[in-house]
Copies of this chain bind each other. A is one copy, B any other.
Amino acid sequence: MDPRVREHAEIIVDHSVQVEPGDNVVVRAPHAAEDLVVAVMEKLGEVGANPSLTLSSSRAQRAFMKASDPEDFELPEHQMAAAEKADVAISIRASRNTHESGDVDPQKNMAYSKVMKPLQDEMMDKRWVGTQYPAPGNAQDAEMSMEAYENFVWDAINKDWDEQREFQANLVDILEDGSEVHIVSGDTTDLTMSIEEMEPVNDYAENNLPGGEVFTAPVPDSVEGEVLFDMPLMAQGREVQDVYLRFEGGEVVEHSAEKNEKVLTAVLNTDEGAKRIGELGIGMNRQIDRFTYNMLFDEKMGDTIHLALGRAYEMNVPEDRERNESAVHMDMIVDMSEDSFIEVDGEVVQRDGTFRFEDGFEE
C-alpha cells in the first residue's frame, strides 16, 4: 500500500474526527477507495473504536433508482437507527466513473434526497468528515494521469494541519474585525460588500479533507459591483464558463456566461435568495494549484476567492442578523493570482495571491 494512504487515514481518524476509544464509527466508501478503507480500519483498531462499513456504490444506487417508483421511497428505519447511535461519520468519495447517475431522472434523485434528508441531517450532527480518495474517474475529470492525480490529492490532504490552521488564523483575525471588503481582479472584477458582524470560519480540515479556506457571509443587500468568474463551474450536470454578474443592492441585475448561460439563468431564477451571495470564501491551500472539477478541492485552491449564490451557512451568521436563504448554494471561483487584490476597510490584505502576513507581500 502507498504509505500516503496510511498518512491520509491517520489525518482522518486523529485530526478530522478525533476518534476516541469506544466511539461508534460509520465508514462510508465506494469500491474504488478500498485501500483507504483498509488503512482507516487499521487506525480504528488501534484507537479501539467500534466501526461499521457502509458501501456507497454509484452503480448500485443507479440501478436501484432506475428500478424504483418514487412513491415507494421511504426513509430506511434501520439506517436511521444506526445513525442515531453513531458518534462519528467518515465519508470517502472515489469514482471510477463520475457520470454513473447520468441516466437517472433528476426529479427522481431530488425526491429520494428529500426522503433521505433526515438521515443526512442526523449524520451532520456527529463528528463527520468528507474526504476524497484518488480514483480514475476523478483523475479523468481533472484531466490528469493517475499518478499525477494521486500526487495532487495527497499533497493537498497530507499536510501539517496545525500549521495550516495558524496560517489561516491570520486572515480570520482580519475578517473578524473587518467590515468593508473590496475585491478587484483585472478589468473584469470590482466588487464591494459588507461582512460586518459576520463570523468567519477557519476550515482546517475538520469536516472537509482537504480543508484550507476561510469563509464568511456578506450582509445580503450590501454587495455592489461586477465580477467575472474565470474558473468553470458545474451546474445541473453541465459546465458553465465565464460567468459574469453585476450586483446592485445585493442582487444580481445583469448576468451572462460564455457557455450554458441558460443554466445560469435557471439557477438565478430558483428563488429570491438565489440572486444574492451567501458565502465569500478565500482559498488558502497552496497545494491545490489547479482546477480539477471537484469543488471539495477547487474552492480551497490557493490564490482564489469564491462566492456562492444562494444559501448562507448558519455558522457564519449571528442569530440576530439576516441570513440569506435559498434552495441553491452554487460556488463560483475567481483567480486572484495576478493583477488582483483584496482590501478590508481600505487596507490591502492580499495582492496577487500573497497575503500581508506572508513574506513577499508588497503594499
Q: Which residues of A contact B (CB under 8 A)?
A: 21-22, 24, 26, 29, 31, 34, 37-46, 48, 50-57, 59-61, 63-69, 72, 74-86
Task: Count the copies.
Answer: 2
Residues on the B chain within 8 Å of A67, using CB: 41-46
Nearest Cβ on chain B to A94's Cβ, whole angstroms: 12
**Separation of A79 and B53 alpha carbons in the complex (Å):** 10
Q: Are A41 and B64 in contact, CB atoms less than 8 angstroms apart? A: yes
Nearest Cβ on chain B to A178's Cβ, whole angstroms: 43
Q: Are A54 and B51 in contact, CB atoms less than 8 angstroms apart? A: no
Residues on the B chain within 8 Å of A48, using CB: 68-69, 72
14 new A-B contacts, CB < 8 A, other than A38-B57, A80-B85, A81-B81, are: A24-B77, A26-B78, A37-B57, A44-B67, A45-B66, A50-B77, A52-B54, A53-B54, A54-B54, A55-B55, A77-B85, A78-B86, A81-B82, A81-B84
Residues on the B chain within 8 Å of A52, using CB: 54, 76, 78-79, 82
Tell me which of A34, A63, A72, A86 has the highest count of chain B C-beta atoms within 10 A of its own C-beta. A63
Contacts A34-B31, A34-B57 given; does A64 touch B44 at CB 8 Å: yes
Nearest Cβ on chain B to A44's Cβ, whole angstroms: 6
**Separation of A54 and B83 alpha carbons in the complex (Å):** 14
Residues on the B chain within 8 Å of A77, using CB: 24, 50, 85
**Separation of A117 and B197 alpha carbons in the complex (Å):** 55
Nearest Cβ on chain B to A136's Cβ, whole angstroms: 15
Residues on the B chain within 8 Å of A74, using CB: 22, 50
Q: Are A51 and B37 in contact, CB atoms less than 8 angstroms apart? A: no
Residues on the B chain within 8 Å of A63, using CB: 38-39, 41-42, 45
